[in-house]
Structure 1
Amino acid sequence: MRHTLPLAPQFYVTAPQTCPYLEGRMERKLFTALQGDNAERLNDALSKQGFRRSQNVLYRPACSDCKACMSARIRVADFVPSKSQKRVIKRNKHLARRVTSPWATEEQYALFRQYLDSRHSDGGMADMDLFEFAAMVEETPIKSRLIEYQTPFEGQEPDLTAVCLTDVLDDGLSMVYSFFDPTKDRQSLGTFLILDHIRIAAEMDLPYVYLGYWVPGSPKMGYKAKFSGLEIFEGQHWHPIGDVNGYDNATHPLKVEPISEQVSRIQLPDSKTIR
């Protein structure tokens, strides 16, 4: 007999772990399972409320005394490339884009390993093997795509240069995870991937590109504030980021809502949509 999950999902909280963005802090995540007939609707609704997808899980930071992590997205209609971003586009105009189903290959994993060893050797993914990589790519209950960028060579097989695992939401593209050749620093491939996703979203008439979290004071996340049209999710609403120096990442337990209150304010697919 077939059983489906109820529309109202169950939410849980992880145990405290070392924060990957701000030194000396601990993080917790609020999460729920993403499965069943309503997976796409749930993913669309919660993505608009600061959640991110990892395989079959949706999560959002829920730290006990810190609210520094804020979900960020680019409003495509308001994006205007800077002079330096225009140069990045020009430097990468030779790359060929290839969109595929979420199916992992050994070539992708080799590039992924090269990227991790160079950029994130002490991160949470540092020990990920081929099977775990395949699970990250392939275990998705929603509409996901792998977007590959290849460097063509005349008479030879193209060289895989960058990859992004991307979810297609009802209002935009969500860049779940991207990696690229770390030896090609001059090409600014991380920036280029975002710029190309903005172009793809415009071509698809989708209003947003979701980037994950922006964290004031974190060098790892600072690059996101360089994109015009950037919005952050704060206080249950999306609004333009404004002055990046006007944000305080200081800890204060009285400024953080209890988990029960955070869960009670989550709007599910049949509720009014967050804008």
Structure 2
Amino acid sequence: MDNVLSFRRGHTPLLISMPHPGILLTPAVEAGLVEAALERPDTDWHIPLLYDFAAGMGVGTLEACYSRYVIDLNRPEDDAPLYASATTGLYPATLFDGEPLYRAGMEPSAEERARYLEEIWRPYHQTLAAELARLKAEFGYALLFDAHSIRSSVPRLFDGLLPDFNLGTNSGASCAEALAQRLRSVCAGAADYSHVLNGRFKGGHITRHYGQPDQHIHAVQLELSQCTYMEEQLPYDYREDLAEPTQVVLRQLLQAMLDWGRERYGR
């Protein structure tokens, strides 16, 4: 498959992973989706644009181009559940609101889905693993920031309104506690925004699998409420007036990771 991912190498120990901004569909998926799903409502809209300042910081980026409706890159390949509460799987069957994703009998075949695993999921994870290994070889450590966003209200997934900044470290297992607290302090200093550490979103497969602080690879997920930078309803417009102050905090988070890494590892 063409246009599976977009990868830009940086010159710092930090890599941003963006597994869910893609909107491309395969013919088999597009043919079977219900009408509401064709609008891709569960996309992490505009995430590459929101983080476009990262290049100037020397931070690398890895961006998925296919929709999570084809295959979810933040789920393990064996589709083991990550949460005890409502969630979606490697091959999503429902929208976030719980409605069916496909018209009856129109799901892609097992053969199609096996191809998505080989040609979309594996290249993303191979690129991610190789770049983290390269960073660790060059710097002695690697930092991974898994960038996500979601509507501020999804009653099936969480009660009430989601905090603006939702940091996840797999309950402390995916990065050093000192780094997690450094990032939490950044969010606490952003008076106009709410935040939580390891709340509803503790980190998906990418954070849990690649975060190995004992091996000097530290991973953090940020689930950002979409009301902080865009319109949450169709046509999902990017809001520069909202995004600019949010980018200030995002830049501070990335800089805090870089500063912590230099202090901890001396480079």
Choose between structure 1 and 2 for higher RCO, CA contacts under 8 A separated by at least 6 residues: 1
Larger Rg: 1
TM-score by length of 2: 0.26
Higher strand share: 1
More helix, by proportion: 2
